[in-house]
Amino acid sequence: MKVPIDLQGDVAEVLVSEDQIQAKVLELGARISADYAGRQLTLVSVLKGSLPFMADLMRSITVPVRIDLMEVSSYGGSSTESSGLVRILKDLSASIADEHVLLVEDIIDTGLTLNYLVRYLRGKSPASLRICTLLDKPARRLVEIPVDYTGFTIDDRFVVGYGLDFGEFYRNLRYVGVLRPEVYSTPPVADAGPAVEPGPPGDPVAPADTGA
- Catalytic residue status for 106: no
**Residue 136 touches ligand PRP, criterion: CB under 6 A:** no
Nearer Cβ to ligand PRP, position 36 or 163? 163
**Residue 106 touches ligand PRP, criterion: CB under 6 A:** yes
Of 165, 169, 170, 183, the residue at the interface with ligand PRP (CB under 6 A) is 165
**Residue 209 touches ligand PRP, criterion: CB under 6 A:** yes
CA distances from 83 to 75, 77, 106, 111, 142 (A): 6, 4, 19, 11, 11
Considering only the stretches 11-19, 90-98, 193-201, 203-211, report the one whose residues sit in contact with ligand PRP under the rule CB under 6 A: 203-211
**Shortest Cβ distance from residue 48 to ligand PRP (Å)?**
4
Nearer Cβ to ligand PRP, position 108 or 129? 108
Neighbours of 121 (CB within 10 A): 18
**Which of 105, 14, 107, 99 lies closest to 65, judged by CA?**
99
Residues forming the site for ligand PRP (CB under 6 A): 46-50, 82, 105-113, 165, 209-211
Catalytic residue list: 109
